[in-house]
Amino acid sequence: MKKAFAGLLCAALVAVPMFANGALTVVKRFDTPQHMGWFKAMIADITFDSSYDAGGEAITPGMVGLSSIFYATAGSDTARKRLYTVTWDETNSNLMAFVNYARGSADTSGVRATYVREATTSYNLSTLTVRMLFIGR
């Protein structure tokens, strides 16, 4: 498994053609899914648009070069200093975006309480690009 995963990471250095469905732009990091035992994996950069749909943006396995998705996880949004969290809603096949907010004043150590809530309808996420790992067939 380690060898397959190392190959997956090495293959992720070259971007290949993108797919856009109006709400999401998907840039796959390699031409074809990488084999990991019985599964296939694809790393893709996902960019949202300027009008988020509450409940999440639809994503299909074909958008990331798979025939089915069993698992998906997002890396941190490092360019935006972790202002957003993206999760995959397996039941509805949606990518959901959550906004991280700070609340109140900082405590004596300089830390402020934070909370997270889903982005509202029409929320502008056009500057949000997140790298995701999709595992499926």
pLDDT digits (tens, 9 = 90+) for 28-58: 888 888 898 999 999 999 999 999 999 999 9
Strand ranges (DSSP E) for 14-122?
A: 18-20, 24-28, 34-36, 39-48, 57-58, 69-74, 84-89, 94-103, 113-118
pLDDT digits (tens, 9 = 90+) for 107-132: 667 666 678 889 999 999 998 889 99
- CA–CA distance, 83 with 76 (Å, rounded to integer): 9
**Contact (CB, 8 A) for 128 and 47:** yes
pTM of the entire structure? 0.76
pLDDT digits (tens, 9 = 90+) for 62-99: 999 999 999 999 986 555 556 888 999 999 999 999 98
Count of the separate structural domains present in the chain:
1
What is the pLDDT at residue 81? 57
Q: Where in the sequence is the domain holding 51, given as residue range(s)?
A: 2-136
What is the pLDDT at residue 6? 47
For residue 106, pLDDT over 70 is answered with no
